[in-house]
């Protein structure tokens, strides 16, 4: 838990550095970018490609730079119209990871990784099943690719209802927590750009998750069980609320029940009670303060204060 808070604190310190602060960006894809040597560059800091376009045989390569060395990052397709595949390359262009369908539906998701010392992450978007990034696909359509550096908060009970939801500080885009029997965890992510597209994925969990999306009035507007990896849940192509928030609730899927156990007349639950730990990541555009402003300094100071509180509580 302290490690999670420490990650958030590091982000605050990076902002405090002033020169390291970078505006979030949304840029269109630019051809030619079909190969690693012709990859689209000058993508400074976290941000998104939107929209990109893929035609049959097309591959789009990107180089994100000026990321924070050692920070955790994750990548997802936030919106699109075809069955995507995304991959990560090292600085020599060698493919070091890829994913086809771990995001919502047929969209792709790269699990959290660590930004290398040079602050560069190379990515490619192509159509399924082109895992070799050689254009071996017939997909055509548009996509939005999003890279986020992760700032974590931890599940803090009680947060079992919309009214009792846990409001997260500006800049927090990931949560780690634990679900026990009958538990629900409500989180509101804040200070996002209103009415912009977002995706959300349970990137890890040791139980069968369900994810619910609520509007700011507490009305359930979407629910997902298994659109992510395996039994994990995910959303894509959703809009940040007009007040700049996203409210999600994570819980465990109801147990399957056998109609009758052999030789008995009672319903019998299949498997162990549901619960365990999880990590949830939101891919959304934060409202980025003006560089070198007083607001930035305040955010950095608040991060340090938060860390000190955690240290004291843990001591």
Chain residues binding Ca ion by CB under 5 A are 33-34, 58, 60, 83-84, 100-101, 106, 128, 159-160, 183, 185, 208-209, 225-226, 231, 253
Residue 79 or 83 having the CB closest to Ca ion: 83
Give the three-class secondary structure for 197.
strand
Residue 69 or 230 having the CB closest to Ca ion: 230
User: From the CB of 254, what's the least distance to Ca ion, in Å?
Assistant: 10
Q: How far apart are CA 221 and CA 227, in angstroms?
A: 16
Q: How far apart are CA 112 and CA 95, in angstroms?
A: 16
User: From the CB of 261, what's the least distance to Ca ion, in Å?
Assistant: 24
User: From the CB of 311, what's the least distance to Ca ion, in Å?
Assistant: 24
User: From the CB of 303, what's the least distance to Ca ion, in Å?
Assistant: 25
**Which helix (H) or strand (E) is 1 found in, with range?**
none
User: From the CB of 102, what's the least distance to Ca ion, in Å?
Assistant: 8
Q: How far apart are CA 210 and CA 98, in angstroms?
A: 25
Q: First CA to last CA across the chain, in angstroms?
A: 13
User: From the CB of 310, what's the least distance to Ca ion, in Å?
Assistant: 19
Residue 60 or 146 having the CB closest to Ca ion: 60
Query: Can you list the alpha helix ranges (DSSP code H) found in the chain?
Result: 2-16, 294-314
Gyration radius (Cα) of the chain, Å: 20
Residue 66 or 101 having the CB closest to Ca ion: 101
Within 8 A by CB and 6+ apart from 29, the residues are: 40, 49, 51, 52, 53, 60
Residue 157 or 290 having the CB closest to Ca ion: 157
Within 8 A by CB and 6+ apart from 19, the residues are: none
Residue 119 or 275 having the CB closest to Ca ion: 275
Residue 130 or 185 having the CB closest to Ca ion: 185
Residue 119 or 226 having the CB closest to Ca ion: 226
Contact 73, 148 (CB under 8 A): yes
Within 8 A by CB and 6+ apart from 175, the residues are: 152, 153, 154, 155, 168, 185, 187, 279, 280
User: From the CB of 200, what's the least distance to Ca ion, in Å?
Assistant: 14
User: From the CB of 262, what's the least distance to Ca ion, in Å?
Assistant: 27
CA neighbor of 169 nearest in space, from 304, 22, 48: 304
User: From the CB of 209, what's the least distance to Ca ion, in Å?
Assistant: 5
CA neighbor of 72 nearest in space, from 245, 281, 224: 281
Q: How far apart are CA 173 and CA 265, in angstroms?
A: 47
Residue 154 or 253 having the CB closest to Ca ion: 253
Helices and strands (H and E) in the chain: how many: 2, 22
């Amino acid at each position: 838990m302290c490690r999670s808070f420490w990650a958030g604190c590091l982000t605050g310190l990076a902002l405090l550095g002033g020169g390291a602060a970078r505006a979030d960006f949304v840029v269109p894809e630019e051809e030619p970018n079909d190969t690693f040597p012709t990859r689209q560059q000058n993508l400074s800091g976290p941000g998104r490609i939107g929209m990109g376009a893929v035609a049959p045989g097309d591959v789009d390569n990107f180089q994100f730079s000026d990321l924070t060395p050692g920070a955790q990052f994750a990548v997802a397709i936030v919106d699109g119209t075809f069955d995507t595949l995304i991959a990560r390359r090292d600085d020599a262009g060698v493919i070091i990871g890829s994913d086809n369908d771990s995001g919502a539906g047929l969209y792709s998701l790269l699990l959290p990784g660590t930004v290398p010392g040079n602050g560069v992450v190379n990515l490619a978007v192509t159509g399924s099943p082109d895992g070799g990034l050689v254009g071996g696909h017939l997909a055509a359509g548009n996509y939005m690719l999003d890279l986020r550096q992760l700032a974590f908060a931890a599940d803090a009970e009680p947060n079992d209802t919309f009214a009792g939801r846990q409001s997260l500080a500006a800049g927090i885009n990931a949560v780690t927590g634990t679900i026990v029997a009958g538990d629900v965890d409500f989180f509101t992510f804040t200070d996002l750009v209103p009415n912009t597209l977002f995706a959300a994925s349970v990137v890890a969990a040791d139980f069968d998750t369900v994810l619910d999306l609520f509007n700011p009035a507490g009305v359930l507007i979407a629910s997902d069980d298994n659109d992510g990896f395996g039994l994990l849940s995910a959303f894509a192509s959703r809009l940040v609320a007009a007040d700049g928030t996203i409210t999600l609730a994570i819980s465990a899927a109801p147990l399957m029940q056998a109609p009758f156990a052999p030789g008995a007349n009672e319903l019998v639950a299949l498997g162990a009670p549901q619960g365990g730990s999880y990590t949830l990541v939101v891919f959304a555009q934060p409202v980025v303060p003006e560089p070198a402003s007083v607001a930035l300094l305040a955010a950095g100071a608040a991060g340090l204060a938060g860390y000190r509180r955690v240290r004291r509580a843990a001591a």
